[in-house]
Structure 1
Amino acid sequence: MCRHLAYLGPEEPLGRLLVTPPHGLYRQSWAPRRQRYGTVNADGFGVGWYAPGDPVPARYRRAGPIWADQSFADLARVVRTTALLAAVRDATLSGADAEAAAAPFASGPWLFSHNGAVKGWPRSLAPLTETLPAADLLAMEARNDSAFVWALVLARLRAGDEEGQALADTVLEVAEAAPGSRLNLLLTNGESIAATAWGDTLWYLASPGRSTVVASEPYDDDPHWQEVPDRTLLAASGTDVLLTPLKEPSTEPPKEPRT
């Protein structure tokens, strides 16, 4: 369980997107307004952002609560970007890995976050390990469900899938293996945003032709925030937002072929 946010638009200081809003991600770490599971997101945080001319994002992650990190307050005041992904974490299971378990996860141009929990982790997804190369499993940053879901998404991206397709197929695969999982995924490459609403809240604020924010919950009371329906894939650029329904995996056994 966590809260996360992605932004595309004109250059802004990190703090104006994460700290300054009255109900921004900074405040959501201790007082989220719409979080359905858990109450405090104090098990780590992270932000990834893109610098002009560099397609590979920078990251700043810590194992503790965002409000206790004075270095981040300074960084957020002066670092500016046109694209970011940030998250505050409420760990599903306590354990090791420290900041390595905090989103955003990253590879190449991509930043990724998972808001939710995989039902029955880790046993429920054990069969899916066979779909990944051994090197990908050994390279996982952390030993939690979010890191494994990221490995599944990343394998699809490396195989050439578009961002939205990679998220949708991963959600359906995990939901089939572990029914009852909450799988709000968020992905950006610095030029577009893909996200899923699957078991928790997701909202977006779009200023067509200017900026797009996709977040677990609104960071202010602007009436233009739109809620994303559950079981939906969101694909956004700086100019538009597209919503596509996702179909729940069938739980019925396959029918016997006719003879």
Structure 2
Amino acid sequence: MCRHIAYIGPELPFGKVVLTPPHGLYRQSWAPRHQRHGTVNADGFGVGWYAPGDPVPARYRRSGPIWADEQLPDLGRVIRTGALLAAVRDATVAGADGEAAAAPFATGRYLFSHNGAVAGWPDSMAPLAAALPAGELLRLAARSDTAFLWALVHHRLAAGAEPGDALADTVAEVAAAAPGSRLNLLLTDGTGIAATTWGDSLHHLAAPGGGRVVASEPYDTSPHWTEVPDGTLLRATRTEVTLTPLKEPAT
């Protein structure tokens, strides 16, 4: 369910990453090649990007399919960025909160997305919700599993956790509470990318010009894409990628 992509590197129009590649996120909305669950990602989309010199990202999100938005091609052509995160959505619960449920979610300098589903949502997350400060729940952007996952991740980030650790610890906690969940998480602060594989596909690419792409699936047929094994935490900068096995959830 869902497809997402993050990029850091030389400044370029965001459409070159999101819209124009032959198998890019735009096409993945109706014809994904590696998606293991679901077939069409038409329940919303979003693009978040960082303007030069501004650490707080901007976002453009809509509740409908990405191919139906007439403004996006022009935005993708003229808005230039050195970092972005974008996603197309196949909703776990159809119709829940519309545009507010479309990734990327954002707080401060962070952009976040989730590809997957929390098993037993929402009842399975009741113990984890009870452990969160009330303010975190009141600030949920949508009544969706992704919004709740973002609350868990952000709570860790606010407490000082490094982005990769915040994702890894969230995956372990949620997988223990809701076995069978699919938890491919993607996070960027505009300077680095962190991601997890837990039940669906993920790939990375050293892009031409010194950039780095991390995506649910390759956006072209380049042989230089590398698949990330399931059960892995990825940390990426422009110049390097580090892969670390995720811990199995406590039983």
Q: TM-score range with shorter-chain normalisation?
A: over 0.9
TM-score for both structures, normalised by structure 1: 0.95
Deviation at 1:209, TM superposition (A): 8.1
Deviation at 1:92, TM superposition (A): 1.0
Question: 1:52-201 counterparts in 2 under 5 A?
Answer: 52-201=52-201
Contact in 2 for aligned 1:209/1:238 (Cα 8 Å):
no
3-state SS, counterpart of residue 174 of structure 2: helix
Q: Percent same amino acid at aligned positions? A: 73
Deviation at 1:12, TM superposition (A): 1.0
Code of the aligned partner of 2:104: P
Deviation at 1:130, TM superposition (A): 1.9
For 1:22 and 1:239, locate their aligned partners in 2 and report how far apart those are by CA, in whole Å: 25
Contact in 1 for aligned 2:96/2:144 (Cα 8 Å):
no
Deviation at 1:170, TM superposition (A): 0.2
1:179-228 deviation digits (Å, cap 9, x = unpaired): 00000000000000000000000000025981110000000000000000
For 1:75 and 1:246, locate their aligned partners in 2 and report how far apart those are by CA, in whole Å: 37
Contact in 1 for aligned 2:25/2:87 (Cα 8 Å):
yes
After TM superposition, what 4+ stretches of structure 1 lie above 2 angstroms from structure 2? none
3-state SS, counterpart of residue 71 of structure 2: helix
2:233 matches 1:228: no
Contact in 2 for aligned 1:46/1:61 (Cα 8 Å):
yes
Aligned residue pairs total 251
Contact in 2 for aligned 1:206/1:241 (Cα 8 Å):
no
Which residue of 2 is the match for residue 42 of structure 1? 42
Question: 1:15-26 counterparts in 2 under 5 A?
Answer: 15-26=15-26
Contact in 2 for aligned 1:208/1:240 (Cα 8 Å):
no
Contact in 1 for aligned 2:42/2:89 (Cα 8 Å):
yes
Contact in 1 for aligned 2:10/2:209 (Cα 8 Å):
no
Contact in 2 for aligned 1:208/1:238 (Cα 8 Å):
no
TM-score for both structures, normalised by structure 2: 0.98
Radius of gyration: which is bigger? Answer: 1
Code of the aligned partner of 2:204: Y
For 2:92 and 2:144, locate their aligned partners in 1 and report how far apart those are by CA, in whole Å: 9
Code of the aligned partner of 1:234: L
1:58-92 deviation digits (Å, cap 9, x = unpaired): 00000000000011111111111000000000001
Which residue of 2 is the match for residue 210 of structure 1? 210
Code of the aligned partner of 1:222: S
Deviation at 1:96, TM superposition (A): 3.1
Which residue of 2 is the match for residue 254 of structure 1? none
For 1:243 and 1:181, locate their aligned partners in 2 and report how far apart those are by CA, in whole Å: 21
Code of the aligned partner of 1:92: T
Which residue of 2 is the match for residue 256 of structure 1? none
CA RMSD of aligned residues (A): 1.0
Contact in 1 for aligned 2:172/2:250 (Cα 8 Å):
no
Contact in 1 for aligned 2:9/2:82 (Cα 8 Å):
yes
1:146-190 deviation digits (Å, cap 9, x = unpaired): 000000000000000000000000000000000000000000000
